[in-house]
Chains A and B, each alone.
Chain A
């Protein structure tokens, strides 16, 4: 069964944001299902849909690690379970 999590990244665009996040996800055994990104007025907006079902780390650890990684890169990274977006936007 899939355990889908939405990772959002918002911040000033810079080189290597996706690379660093994907490296972390790969090392943690998190499978990336989909990536969308846009740049609005120099601001980087990205969303990843990932499956953490076979990850070596627990969801709250991933949340913490990503937040720290965001601080290092200078962007805000959030990980939330997918259900909240489905609840709000899908019938």
Chain B
């Protein structure tokens, strides 16, 4: 039987160390909705989402109350819309109608965000893919809950540089459309290399074509819990440090596993995966950068940061894998800038640069995340930054991503406010030298030699 100390430990994690389940995400396949008539397609998509996810909010609330564990977000991911709308959409505006439908459906079932306004173009773009990509600025500007992602590269196919070049331009258009709100819509757009089919986290969640009709994916969190546990082992050896992280990750993941199983049972939708990511929020004590400091760095970004992060990421996985029957998604430590107070402190202290963040993305789960850059950054430079991040993922056979926010009308030294869970960010300087001639070449970068395993 459980004892008092264990009960108090669990409740302290929730009450004082911001342990929560970050999201229950229902993945919904929309393949059955495909229709060449745009109105019919929209109607089918709306009905499908609101039918499958109708009890999402109710069930999440029940689980919160039964176990006393907060579930911060309820989310939906759908099949990449470029695939769903291809038969019906003849111009970018046609795709935008689907974004409105997704937005309405998400609102109707009480989902905070809906992902899957996406295209998978790692090798080439179909006409529908390109139309969808060109519709992203309008779609994100006119909707509230819709998130968009584009997979630009993979280890198996290489990097689609035509799409990389296009995305630099698209990102600036998204920024421009929301320039009176600090280009905030860029938060809802992310580009990937090796995008996972079962990621529950936004903005990159979509329901891959390899998935079943519907699936429950759960993202756990808990940087605060890891930080607190590490406070107890200051000055101890790496062995003790690693053991502590592993044990803590195990406990956190077990909560996620329980929530996922319950949600799956109560919604009558199969359980997909737990995503083990350490996802920070701007709340004090809920920071991945603070864990790095607790490990022994003055600031995140100091020499040794990449090694410390590599170790942290690995131990989180080792602890979490045994705690869940299925692990997937991104599963690692997120290092967004604006959503992590410790990371913001590092930027303000001048301890961390974009180049160091890029190095860190080689060993963490995602990539350049929630980074505000000057609004006058050329599209080709943004494409160059994206290409670099894609190359890291391609060569290292891992997922990488870029979620950059060029803030129109602002420059280095300014700060942008995103509000709520998204926090604020000081604008970071970008290397001024041009890569235009590189980015403007046509075609794609071939897959690396180690992808030829057949």
Contact = CB atoms under 8 A, between A and B. Distances in A.
Q: Do A and B bind each other?
A: yes
B272 to A, nearest CB: 18
B254 interface: yes
B452 interface: no
A84 B4 contact: no
A78 B254 CA distance: 21
Contacts of B9: 89
Secondary structure call for the B interface: helix
A84 B255 contact: yes
Given A8-B8, A84-B67, A49 B254 contact: no
Given A49-B1, A80-B66, A8 B255 contact: no
A38 B220 CA distance: 32
A21 B142 CA distance: 53
B257 A78 contact: no
A38 B254 contact: no
A90 B6 CA distance: 10
Interface in B322-343: none
B72 interface: no
B10 A45 contact: no
A31 B38 CA distance: 59
A87 interface: yes
Contact of A88 (B3, B65, B66, B255): B255
A20 B8 CA distance: 22
B2 A87 contact: no
Given A49-B1, A81-B67, A87 B255 contact: yes
A47 B4 CA distance: 6
Nearest to B254: A87
Contact of B66 (A38, A45, A59): A59
Nearest to B256: A87
Question: Which of B9, B66, B251, B257 has the largest number of chain A CB atoms within 10 A?
Answer: B66
B69 interface: yes
B11 A60 contact: no
B68 interface: yes
B1 A34 contact: yes
Nearest to A8: B7
Contacts of A36: 3-4
B258 interface: yes
A89 B66 contact: no
Contacts of A8: 7-8, 11
Interface string A1-35: 00000101000000000000000000000000010
Contacts of A80: 66-68
A55 interface: no
A63 interface: yes
Interface in B1-30: 1-4, 6-11
Contacts of A82: 2
Contacts of A45: 4, 8
Tier of interface size on chain A: 20 to 34
A89 B68 CA distance: 16
B257 A87 contact: yes
A83 interface: yes
A75 to B, nearest CB: 14
Contacts of B6: 85, 88-89
Contact of A84 (B1, B3, B8, B69): B69
A41 interface: no
A90 B11 contact: no
Contact of B11 (A34, A46, A63, A78): A78
Nearest to B262: A83
Contacts of A87: 254-255, 257-258
Contacts of A47: 3-4, 7-8
A35 B7 CA distance: 13
A82 B10 CA distance: 12
Contacts of A34: 1
A88 B251 contact: yes
Contacts of A63: 65
Contacts of B69: 84
A6 B66 contact: no
Question: Which of B1, B2, B10 has the largest number of chain A CB atoms within 10 A?
Answer: B2
Interface string A62-91: 010000000000000010111111111110
Question: Which of A45, A59, A78, A85 has the largest number of chain B CB atoms within 10 A?
Answer: A85
B67 A83 contact: yes
A6 B7 contact: yes
Contacts of A89: 2, 6, 9-10, 251
A6 B2 contact: yes
A12 to B, nearest CB: 16
11 contacts: A8-B7, A47-B8, A59-B66, A81-B66, A82-B2, A84-B67, A84-B68, A84-B69, A85-B7, A86-B2, A88-B251
What 4 pairs across the A-B complex have the smallest Cβ distances?
A84-B67, A87-B258, A80-B68, A85-B2
Given A45-B8, A83-B67, A87-B257, 8 more contacts: A8-B7, A36-B4, A45-B4, A47-B8, A83-B258, A84-B10, A87-B255, A89-B10
